[in-house]
Structure 1
Amino acid sequence: MPRLLTLIAALLLAPGLAFAHGPTPQKIEETIVIQAPPAAVWLMVKDFAGLAKWHAAVANCDGQGGNANGATRTVTLKSGGKLVDGLDEYDDAGKSYGYRLAQENLEAFPVSYYSATLTVRAKGDASEVEWTGRYYRGDTGNYPPETQDDAAATAAMSKFFRDGLESLKAKLEATR
């Protein structure tokens, strides 16, 4: 009898558990080739708080802590709103840094959390810049509104990375 009750309980609870999970982490990878040597590209992007110097969607970027692990930056978007990022890893020799969203702002960006890495590599006489990220949608509930679902988060992350890489390319190639 106890086995039968256990089996019945399991069968009744199993369908509910299938709907009880939160969002799945999403991934993004954007790359661009820039006709400039890696040292020149890295010089432009290496300052963690220097995002406004090369990203067309960023109005201002204020930082604290320089390029040391634990540094922070407040990114003011031209579209309105601010994002606060924290620097997790910085590799000057490897031309790479990794950071994460330290303070969400769902009105400015429909993502509840992200971590990202920006890397510059040689590609022949040019450079390849890779910007990768992992993120969660803005509303982590089971039934998010369209403005904060996976599609909205993916569109926002993709646009931010792509716009940044394209403006970096335009800025660097215009000086050649």
Structure 2
Amino acid sequence: MLKQLMLVKLPLLLLTIISFLGSSFVYAHGPSRLKVKESITIDAPAEKVWKTVGAFDSLTWLPPVTKVVMEKEPADQKGAVRVVYVGEQSVTEQLKKLDKEGMLLKYKISKNNTALLPVTNYQSTITVKADGDKSIVTWKAGFYRGDPNNDPPENLNDETAIGAIVGLYKVGLENLKVIMEQ
């Protein structure tokens, strides 16, 4: 009788323990994916703006960038890889999609440098849309902060990551506007 009782209760006990352990993992949570989206209206035709924005091998319109070196070409094909330099620091980016007709460029950072840009798992999309004889450029991204651990240092937390991307996008889009409206 004791043996039969143990055979019934042991599986219930094990199931209870497993359920408890499993539910404790549900509460474990890493950082959330962060998102940024910035847009600007430019007094220039969309085709002109796209010619500049859609060139994966050039970031002449993005002020902090000092040079772009292509590691894998052609620059207009999915899989192209560029190294983007700001002084001696760099990040490596891979082209995910280039839709010339839809004026859409999608890329990701494939080699992070959190000292330069305090983010990880960064993916971004830039689009240009015609608005009469003007253009609307939208630059958006999804990413994680530079440090995925709980209680990250201030230079790698959510606020710093968002601030860095928003700052970069605003400076870049404002400069693009100035260049395109000349």
TM (normalized to structure 1)?
Answer: 0.88
Q: Between Structure 1 and Structure 2, whose CA radius of gyration is higher? A: 2
Structure 1 CA distance for aligned equivalents of residues 103 and 163 of structure 2: 27
- Aligned residue pairs: how many? 171
Structure 2 CA distance for aligned equivalents of residues 120 and 9 of structure 1: 52
Structure 2 CA distance for aligned equivalents of residues 90 and 8 of structure 1: 51
User: Does the alignment pair 1:30 with 2:17?
Assistant: no
User: Does the alignment pair 1:164 with 2:172?
Assistant: yes
Partner of 2:4: none
Partner of 2:161: 153
Please report the RMSD computed on the Cα atoms of aligned residues, expressed in angstroms.
Answer: 1.8
Amino acid aligned to 2:64: A
Amino acid aligned to 2:67: N
C-alpha deviation, 1:21, in angstroms: 2.1
Structure 2 CA distance for aligned equivalents of residues 167 and 101 of structure 1: 22
Q: How does 1:23-172 map to 2 (within 5 A)?
A: 23-51=31-59, 53-63=60-70, 64-65=72-73, 66-78=75-87, 81-172=89-180
Residues 50-101 of structure 1, C-alpha deviations (whole Å, 9 max, x = no match): 11x11112111122311111101111125x5111100010111111110000
Identity of aligned pairs, percent? 35
Residues 114-153 of structure 1, C-alpha deviations (whole Å, 9 max, x = no match): 0001110011221000111110111111221111111111
- The structure-2 alpha-carbon separation of the partners of 1:13 and 1:143, relative to structure 1 and needing over 3 Å to count, comes to farther
Specify the SS of the correspondent of 2:66: strand
Give the gaps of 5 or more residues in structure 2: 1-8
